[in-house]
Every structure is written in structure tokens, then in C-alpha cells.
């Protein structure tokens, strides 16, 4: 074992054996925003041998205040977050195997993404993806660690399927659309990201090194501005839970309707094609250049027309900025990208 992990090996609960276990582990990080990049960086530094990253978005200047892995250059180049994150991780720890996937996590790919993973870390920003991750993790008996942060408030919980309550046991329904604060409507300060991700990463280290007895076993709520820290003890899994008691995986089985998603508070809509398609950027740029301003890099094509900006990914998924009207976004997509 090299010098690199010596201080972590000296930490008694991990030791040499724990380090070996970390090196042999694979973790899926869902979402490479503020929380996800914090997870990825900490796990790469700790020597978790294989990291799989998935994120649907690209880097913007407003991310830099809290998404500490990214630089101005990443934002200028509008790199997809998963790609930029993988690149930085390679510089941080070249021994770690990193797989990066630029895509929207949905019911068609979530089970493939968590294949061969020992653990899943939640770095997403929305409840529908979390329910999906929860369904897939309970179905395949993979531990996952829920985390969320907005404003100065954060919450986290570790889910061990059939041993502890799952997300659906604790939150039967997602908050109504538009009713819950988001980072884009209420803002967020960086320290709460550090705190939530620190608890999540520590739980990950405990699980990966076989120290389930040290897990916090609670719904942990923190407010770093109000100086509040609360733990609600978790009981047994809920006997009426559709997911972990009845095996009804509603999010995994739901048909259709995930074609378009409003990206909270960003004045933007994401449109996903019903079937994955590979887009030829050169041809699309050629076609679009008469109607507006086009530029592209190997990962994304950007097209400005009037008050709208379309960012098209290789798999034809697009983020349309300048509207929060799903139908309007669909018509722009159909007009310029086509399906
Ligand atoms: Zn449950």
C-alpha cells in the first residue's frame, strides 16, 4: 500500500484492511453538482477504486460559488459536469478508475448504472430522481445515501434496503412542484454543502469498510446559519411502504411522461428524445447556422435564436433556456433539433 493513504490507514477503524476494501469498491455518484462533486473528490482522495459518475448538465458561471471542483475555464468551455469532474479526478488521483456518463438518470438506465456498485451517493437536486434511485437500490439491494442542501439547510439519511427505512418510508410523497425551496429560488451557501457531503462521505466510508455499527441511523437535519442540528431516529422500515414492503417500484415502472422536465427556477426545460439517438453536431450546425448563432465542442452544441438558447447533447437530449413552458420548449426542440 503506498504512502498516499498512510494517514487514513493510521485511523484505526479503517486500517490496512479497510483501505484494501476501499480500493476494491465501486461507487455510483448520481449528479455532479455541488454535493456530487464533493462526494467524488473525497472518495477519489480516499482511494475508492472505481467511481461511476452521471450528470445531465453542463457547467455555468453560477455553479462556481459552491461547486468547488470546477474552474472558470470549465464554465467558459461549457463542459458537461460529468466530463469535467472525471478530468479533475484523474489529476487528483490517477489510480482511481473513473467512468463518466453524460445523461439524464431515468428509468431506462438507472438499473444499468448501479450494476456492480457497492454503494450509491445522492448528489441530485430533485425528488423524482431520488425516488427512482430509491426504487432501483431497494430492488437490487444496494445501499444509498440521500442528501440535499438548499439555503443554509441540509438533510441526509442512509438507506440500507430492508434493514432501515427507505426514502419512500420516510417521505411518502414528493413536495408539490413549486412548493419547496430550491437552490435556484432560495439560493444556497457553500458551507452547508460541505457539511452534508461530509456526513454522506463518512457514512460511505463506514459502509465500504464494514462499519455499519457506526452509522448515524437517523434523518439528520442541519442548519449552519441557524446553528441547528437535529437527528430523528429511524425505526424499522414502514410495513406499508409500497417500495420496500410491497415491492412496487412505481418510479421504475412508470411509462412515458419523462420526455420533458422543467429545470427548477432556471427558466429552462430539458427535453429528452423518447429513444436515444446519436447526433452529428457538424451536420446539425450546418443546418442551424442560417437561423441563429451555433457553436459546438465534442460534448455539446449551443444554438442561440431570438431569446432562446438550446444546448444539445450527443444523445439528442437538449436543455432549452428562455422558457419555462414545456409545450413551447417542445415545439422549439421539434423545430430545430427534430426527433
Ligand atoms: Zn420503504
CB atoms within 10 A of CB 156: 24
pLDDT of residue 208: 98
Distances (CA, A) of 171 to 120, 137, 318: 19, 16, 31
Give the E-state strand segments of the chain in sequence order: 26-30, 50-55, 97-102, 119-122, 143-150, 153-159, 218-223, 228-233, 260-263, 268-271, 293-296, 300-305, 308-313, 318-321
Residues in the chain: 339
pLDDT of residue 257: 47
Give the E-state strand segments of 56-207 in sequence order: 97-102, 119-122, 143-150, 153-159
Ligand 1 center–CA 234 separation, angstroms: 12
Ligand 1 center–CA 129 separation, angstroms: 16
Ligand 1 center–CA 172 separation, angstroms: 9
Please write the tens of the pLDDT for every residue from 121-156. 999 988 888 999 999 999 999 999 999 999 999 999
Please write the tens of the pLDDT for every residue from 168-193. 999 988 766 555 677 766 889 999 99
169, exposed or middle or buried, with CB in 10 Å at 0-12, 13-18, 19+?
buried
Ligand 1 center–CA 159 separation, angstroms: 9
Ligand 1 center–CA 164 separation, angstroms: 8
Ligand 1 center–CA 66 separation, angstroms: 32
Ligand 1 center–CA 105 separation, angstroms: 21
pLDDT bucket at 277, cuts 50 / 70 / 90: confident
- Residue bearing cell 442528501: 147
CB 274 within 8 A of CB 339: yes
Amino acid at each position: 500500500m503506498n504512502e498516499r493513504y498512510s494517514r487514513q490507514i493510521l485511523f484505526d477503524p479503517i486500517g490496512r484492511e479497510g483501505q484494501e476494501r476501499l480500493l476494491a469498491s465501486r461507487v455510483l455518484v448520481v449528479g455532479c453538482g455541488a454535493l456530487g462533486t464533493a462526494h467524488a473528490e473525497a472518495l477519489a482522495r480516499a482511494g475508492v477504486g472505481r467511481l461511476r459518475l452521471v450528470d445531465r448538465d453542463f457547467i455555468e458561471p453560477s455553479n462556481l460559488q459552491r461547486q468547488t471542483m470546477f474552474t472558470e475555464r470549465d464554465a467558459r468551455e461549457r463542459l458537461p459536469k460529468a466530463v469535467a469532474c472525471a478530468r479533475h479526478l484523474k489529476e487528483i488521483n490517477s489510480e482511481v478508475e473513473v467512468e463518466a456518463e453524460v445523461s439524464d438518470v431515468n428509468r431506462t438506465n438507472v438499473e444499468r448504472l448501479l450494476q456492480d456498485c457497492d454503494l450509491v451517493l445522492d448528489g441530485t437536486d430533485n425528488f423524482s430522481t431520488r425516488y427512482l434511485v430509491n426504487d432501483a437500490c431497494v430492488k437490487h439491494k444496494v445501499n444509498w445515501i440521500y442528501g440535499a442542501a438548499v439555503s443554509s439547510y441540509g438533510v441526509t439519511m442512509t438507506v440500507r434496503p430492508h434493514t432501515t427505512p427507505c426514502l419512500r418510508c420516510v417521505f411518502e410523497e414528493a413536495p408539490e412542484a413549486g412548493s419547496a425551496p430550491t437552490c435556484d429560488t432560495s439560493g444556497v451557501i457553500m458551507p452547508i454543502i460541505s457539511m452534508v457531503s461530509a456526513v454522506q462521505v463518512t457514512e460511505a466510508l463506514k459502509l465500504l469498510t464494514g462499519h455499519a455499527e457506526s452509522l448515524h441511523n437517523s434523518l439528520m437535519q442541519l442548519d449552519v446559519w441557524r446553528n441547528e442540528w437535529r437527528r430523528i431516529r429511524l425505526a424499522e422500515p414502514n410495513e406499508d411502504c409500497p417500495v420496500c414492503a410491497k415491492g412496487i417500484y412505481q418510479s421504475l415502472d412508470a411509462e412515458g411522461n419523462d420526455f420533458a422536465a422543467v429545470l427548477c427556477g432556471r427558466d429552462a426545460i430539458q427535453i429528452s428524445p423518447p429513444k436515444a439517438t446519436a447526433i452529428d453536431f457538424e451536420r446539425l450546425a450546418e443546418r442551424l447556422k442560417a437561423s441563429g448563432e451555433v457553436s459546438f465542442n465534442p460534448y455539446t452544441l449551443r444554438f442561440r435564436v431570438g431569446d432562446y438558447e438550446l444546448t444539445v447533447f450527443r444523445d439528442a437530449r437538449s436543455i432549452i433556456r428562455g422558457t419555462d413552458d414545456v409545450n413551447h420548449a417542445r415545439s422549439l426542440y421539434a423545430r430545430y433539433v427534430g426527433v
